[in-house]
Amino acid sequence: MNKLLRDLMSRKTFIFSVVVIGFFAVLAVAAPFLTPYNNPYRVGQQFVAAPYAVPAWATVFPQYKNLPPDVRITLTPSLAYESSGEVSQLNSSTLKVTVPPGDTVNVTFPLRWNWSSPYDVRLSFTLVTPNTQYFQVNLFVRDFYLMSLSPLPIPPEVTVVPGKPNPVIFSTELVNPGNSPYVASLPVQDQSLASLELPKMLLPKPGTYNVTLSFVNTGKTTEMFLVTLPGYSSLGYAYGRLGTDDNGASVFSEFVYGARFDLYLSLVASAIIIGIGLIIGLLAGYVGGFTDLTLNAFTDFFLLIPGLPLLIVLISIFDITGTIVNVNKAVLILLIISLLSWPGTAKIIRGQTLTLRNRTFVEAARALGESRMRILFKHIVPNLMGILFAQLAYDVPGVILAESGLDFLGLGITEFPTWGNMLGYATNNVSFVNGFAWWWVLPPGLGIVFISVAFYYFGTAMLDVLSPYKLRGE
């Protein structure tokens, strides 16, 4: 055992393969701990940042330099109000605003902005108004008159209930001429573009911008308003380890869960392939004669079927009937790939069994009085171990490629991320991206390449080390 390990460790390619496979295995196993989003294709897990957000670390590159991250802060009023009697701190998160009759009090919250404009701007606060009909509260960012709150609204004013706490949310995504005085003031053709243009106008570049709440009392008595400190939040253009896709979903989550699924599927499929291949190859090679002829013809038949077209046809057929028998698509793909991929493995195992069967030590075992079964399991199968491990490893990339191919074409799994899906969707959307969404395309692409190479090296190392008769150059 020790010798085996030493043999393996002396190969640089083996070490490379172990490192790469280990890396992806850790990603796959630790996926739930690495990312909170277990299926970024579900709507609830999208828009964690702006669509096509670059990875956070990519902001070191000049072209991504000023892109904002996701920002979520609570604004505080400027210090100027400390002394005046009109605005006072009720508690740590609530302000009390006292407005004399017929007067207006403005409360300004400075917003320090260090980046270029974000994807959207959201402001939220809770407002408790006096129990009268005679007031109005207006929201400004810089000079833009974004929102007007009133107990008797005339559009674009928005209703508030007097004397009660009213949660108020302003979002550039939701503005329309009916709820925003600024949008209503725009020419008609510009109104529908307001939600795209507003973030750029509100926060055009780094600097300090004022968010102002203006409390208007049109009544005849002094009134008191309570308002929580407004929360500011916006989705940024730089997000996480690997940015976002076209739906603003985390690419890192997709990559990690893609690795998890691809590895799992390919290992199970490889095991099935080896299982079928071993049984058929061993039987054909060891029993020989008519059995060999029959099994070999059977294998040839499967070998000559053009794989991908049949795969596509079968998936399409079963997918339609699948709604009736309710077969999981992943299981379906697993079974079809396995059942179409075993012939090569079976042929290789058959060939190896044939040469082993005719070796002198097998005849020597017969001469010792060993039964056929004992020879098979004591001498033939152990000597096949190298080939078996190698085939197991060689089949993994094959399965990953087949599965990714199906997903890429949109015929495979669509409900959750796989590497093939990522590549497929990225290809569909890449022309809309400013430039090239490398953070979306490269991880699954390189992942497939690296894991294929790693498994190939792993298999070759296993083949060399575990096959005693290979070592001597036979």
Partner 1 sequence: MIEGKDLRVYFKTRDVEVRALDGVSVAVKEKEIVGVVGESGSGKTTLGRTLLNLQRPVGGEVLWNGKNVFKLRGREEREFRRRNQIIYQNPYEAIDIRLKVYDVIAEGIRVHRLASNKEEEKEMVMNALRDVGLNPEEEYAYSLPNQLSGGQLQRVAIARALVLNPTFIVADEPVSMLDMSVRAGILEIFQRQREEKGTEILMITHDISTLGYIADRIYVMYQGKVIEHGSADALLEKPLHPYTQALITAVPIPDPSERAKLFSVKIKEKEEEYNGKGCKYYPRCPFAMQSCREKEPELKGVSSDHYVACYLY
Summarize as ranges the residues that interact with partner 1 (CB under 8 A).
359-361, 363-370, 374, 378-379, 382-383, 468-469, 472
> Which tokens sit at 231?
């929360």
> Shortest distance, CB of residue 368 to partner 1, whole angstroms?
5
> Shortest distance, CB of residue 285 to partner 1, whole angstroms?
17
* Nearest CB to partner 1, comparing residues 299 and 383: 383
In one-letter notation, the amino acid at residue 414 is: T
* Nearest CB to partner 1, comparing residues 301 and 361: 361
> Shortest distance, CB of residue 2 to partner 1, whole angstroms?
13
> Shortest distance, CB of residue 378 to partner 1, whole angstroms?
8
> Which tokens sit at 304?
């000559």
3-class state of residue 136 by DSSP: strand
Residue 292 CB-density burial (10 A; 0-12 exposed, 13-18 middle, 19+ buried): middle
User: Do the beta carbons of residue 400 and residue 266 sit within 8 Å?
Assistant: yes
> Shortest distance, CB of residue 461 to partner 1, whole angstroms?
18
> Shortest distance, CB of residue 7 to partner 1, whole angstroms?
13
Q: Which residue has the tokens 């003031």?
A: 185
* Nearest CB to partner 1, comparing residues 112 and 366: 366
* Nearest CB to partner 1, comparing residues 347 and 379: 379
- How far is residue 59's CA from residue 63's CA, in Å, rounded to a whole number? 8
Question: SS in 3 state form for 312-323?
Answer: HHHHHHHHHHHH
3-class state of residue 126 by DSSP: strand
Crossing angle for the helix pair 419-429 and 438-466, nearest 10 degrees?
150
- How far is residue 281's CA from residue 44's CA, in Å, rounded to a whole number? 49
DSSP 8-state symbol, 371: -
N residues, the chain: 474
- How far is residue 319's CA from residue 325's CA, in Å, rounded to a whole number? 10
> Shortest distance, CB of residue 359 to partner 1, whole angstroms?
7
> Shortest distance, CB of residue 364 to partner 1, whole angstroms?
5
Q: Which residue has the tokens 């559009």?
A: 155
* Nearest CB to partner 1, comparing residues 86 and 464: 464
Ranges of H-type helices in 358-437: 360-367, 372-375, 381-408, 419-429
> Shortest distance, CB of residue 286 to partner 1, whole angstroms?
16
* Nearest CB to partner 1, comparing residues 12 and 378: 378
* Nearest CB to partner 1, comparing residues 205 and 374: 374
The residues that bridge with 210 in the sheet, in sequence order, are 110
In one-letter notation, the amino acid at residue 441 is: V
* Nearest CB to partner 1, comparing residues 65 and 366: 366
DSSP string of 92-103, one letter each residue: TTEEEEEE-TT-
User: Do the beta carbons of residue 198 and residue 175 sit within 8 Å?
Assistant: yes
* Nearest CB to partner 1, comparing residues 6 and 374: 374
* Nearest CB to partner 1, comparing residues 154 and 368: 368
> Shortest distance, CB of residue 280 to partner 1, whole angstroms?
24
- How far is residue 27's CA from residue 21's CA, in Å, rounded to a whole number? 10
Extended strands (E) in 155-205: 158-159, 165-171
3-class state of residue 217 by DSSP: strand
* Nearest CB to partner 1, comparing residues 289 and 369: 369
* Nearest CB to partner 1, comparing residues 370 and 464: 370
Is the bond preceding 156 in cis, omega lying within 30 degrees of 0? yes
> Shortest distance, CB of residue 472 to partner 1, whole angstroms?
8
> Shortest distance, CB of residue 474 to partner 1, whole angstroms?
10
> Which tokens sit at 155?
């559009």
With a CB cutoff of 8 Å and minimum separation 6, the contacts of 144 are: 182, 198, 201, 202
